[in-house]
Amino acid sequence: MSESDWDTVTVLRKRPQKASQLKTEQAVNQARRTGQKVETCQKYGAATNKQHQTSLNTAKLDRETEELKHEKITVDVGKLIQQGRQAKGWTQKDLATKINEKPQVVQEYEQGKAVPNQNVLSKLERAVDQFCTASAIARWLPKLEKYSLVNAAEYWYTVMGWPNVQR
């Protein structure tokens, strides 16, 4: 007879909703009507298979109202990579497999469209036996007031000579 006791209270509750059910538009609207906190955020880079994310502050660039863009590598660096690759007789795909990257990454670097990533640049430098950064080239060159990277590479080819490079 303890089931018919006047002092006990039976509470019937629904099961808590799953996370996927909470994300529906209907559930979000209901939460807004009841005054609960609703956090909306947009996923960035979800469901992409990218090895190297940009180390630059993309959120800061998104908030800016001016025309700001990420710095890209110069075409001169791309030409140096291309010259070193062709000197070894490799295709872009061969170079990409040597440095464990996608062929598209090598293509972007050679065209000068890539956002510089130091890890990828150092792999490319080691693979093609060329110094792609201005500071690395400047260490091996005499002090010149103005020079482009292509002129620096030509100077290095003619005066010092690159190892394993046939002209």
Looking at this protein, which amino acid is placed at residue 72?
K
Instruction: Identify the CA nearest to 132 among candidates 143, 144, 142, 118.
Output: 118
Structure tokens at 105: 């990454």
**In the chain, what are the domains?**
75-160 (1.10.260.40)
| In the chain, % of residues over pLDDT 90 | 13
pLDDT tens-digit readout, 1-19: 556 677 777 777 778 778 7
Cβ atoms of 60 and 66 within 8 Å: the answer is: no
Reported pTM: 0.46
pLDDT tens-digit readout, 41-95: 766 666 666 666 655 566 666 666 666 677 788 887 888 888 889 989 999 999 9
What is the spatial distance between Cα 24 and Cα 86, in angstroms, rounded to a whole number?
54
Residues 45, 46, 51: CA angle, nearest 5 degrees: 60
